[in-house]
Amino acid sequence: MHIVTRQPGEAQRPRLAALSTLPVFYTLTGKRVLLAGGSEAAAWKAELLAATGATVEVAAPEDELSEEMQGLAASGQVTLLGCHWSAIAWDGYAMAVGDCEDEAEAAHFAAAARRFGVPVNVIDKPAFCDFQFGSIVNRSPLVVGISTTGAAPILGQAVRQRIESMLPKSLTDWAGLARHIRERATTMLQPGPERRQFWQRLADKAFHTPAEEAELESWIDEAKGTEGGRVTLVGAGPGDAEYLTLKAMRALQAADVILFDDLVSDDVLELARREAKRILVGKRGGRDSCKQEDINRTMITLAKGGRRVVRLKSGDPMIFGRAGEEIAELNRAGIPVDVVPGITTALALAAELKLSLTHRDCAQSVRFVTAHSRDGKLPTNLDWSALADKSTTHLYYMAGRTSGELVERLLDAGLAPETPVVFATNVSRAGQTIVHTCLSDAGNQAKNLDLDCPIILAIGSALQTTAAAKQRQTA
């Protein structure tokens, strides 16, 4: 078999999926904002704008002012101009917001604002808006904005409520302390590992403990001299980003560099720290692949340079992920290494099938087996008599190109032809395909599979429980 190699290289995958709009946090303190209209809806926008420190000027005749708007004026939060917006001079406004009765007025208001280069929003009329107001979670100075780009405001509100329930009120104190101590931390701590260690510690504590300035001061002292170079092997799971563990998420968010495999999904990479450099080090049978030696060398070089490296592997790093080789090399180089487990494909397949791999009526054990050796063929040292054990559920990884020979060897070893078999590709990701068959027909079924997709083969009596369930559903 001809093996083509490639060098680790920066990923061409985009770091960010397409955005329908750009979220921007705009400082309005001391800036003039024009608000056209005196309705209750306009009053809510006025209150929101005033909360940012903006100077809110309301253009509306006195007889059109709602009680809410009159109350804001009485409290000094807004200034009433006492006239329709068409009578005002536009110079000097940072933003314009209008509550317009109809499309014609909205069009005129938006056109007037744009003539003077003023960004404009027309309430409930997105066609005339340069920007949108999203739902807000306020833990100021920590502010979370949620937008559906006008498509589903109620959904945005529901998301806001969910986030509100997740973020403790104490985050306000933590964010305030962070702003207060930021200059000192920047002065005292070196860029890179020292600062990252300090801010990561603050972020971890902020969700669980009250904010105390003295504690932050001690963290600055403890962060001095931090050596950040280390490698974390992270299991990315089979593809569905929701299978990631919280610990995996934290590792991705703390990474300086991410070395990832071909099979890691874009959805998982989307959750990584935006600033992290991403390097594709894919290893796929029959395709251009990076040499393991090059991957090891890249990890060691980056870690010795003080980088926090995440080696992101599909599935679980300790299941046919060459983690042992990488850990050994890192240990020899004196590089600290951690491992974050992931959901291996076999377990994700069991979940998709709603199948117990160790159903007590027919399987007393489960075995993970590689069907792909270094030369691309079946391993030569497999114990076929053990693999033909009918009381064990077997999961064969990387079984695409060797499944035909694998089935023949199992039949020769005495495994019953009627033994249930499941082929699965792209488990838990787009394009997932699951094929139910039996051992005697598995060779024919394998010919129809896309060998370029990741394939796992499940064999065992436990699979008959899912086959029976499928028959009951279709009966």
In terms of Cα–Cα distance, which of 161, 103, 147, 105 is closest to 127? 103
Active-site residue, selected from the candidate residues 45, 99, 125, 283 = 283
Q: How many angstroms from the chain centroid is the CA of residue 132?
A: 25
Active site residue 173: no
Q: Are 432 and 475 in contact (CB under 8 A)?
A: no
Query: 314 phi and psi, to 5 degrees?
Result: -65, 145
Active site residue 291: no
Question: 412-415 contacts: CB < 8 A, separation 24 or more?
Answer: 412/384, 413/384, 413/385, 413/387, 413/388, 414/385, 414/388, 415/387, 415/388, 415/390, 415/439, 415/459
Active-site residue, selected from the candidate residues 240, 261, 316, 389 = 261
Q: Collapsing DSSP states into helix, strand and coil, what is residue 59?
A: strand
Query: 301 phi and psi, to 5 degrees?
Result: -60, -45
User: Is the peptide bond prior to 14 cis by the omega test (within 30 degrees of 0)?
Assistant: no
Neighbouring C-alpha atoms within 13 Å toward the C-beta of 113: 26
Token pair listed for 349:
């397949």
Burial 177-189 (b: 16+ CB within 10 A, else e): bbeebeeebeebb
Which residues are known catalytic residues?
A: 261, 283
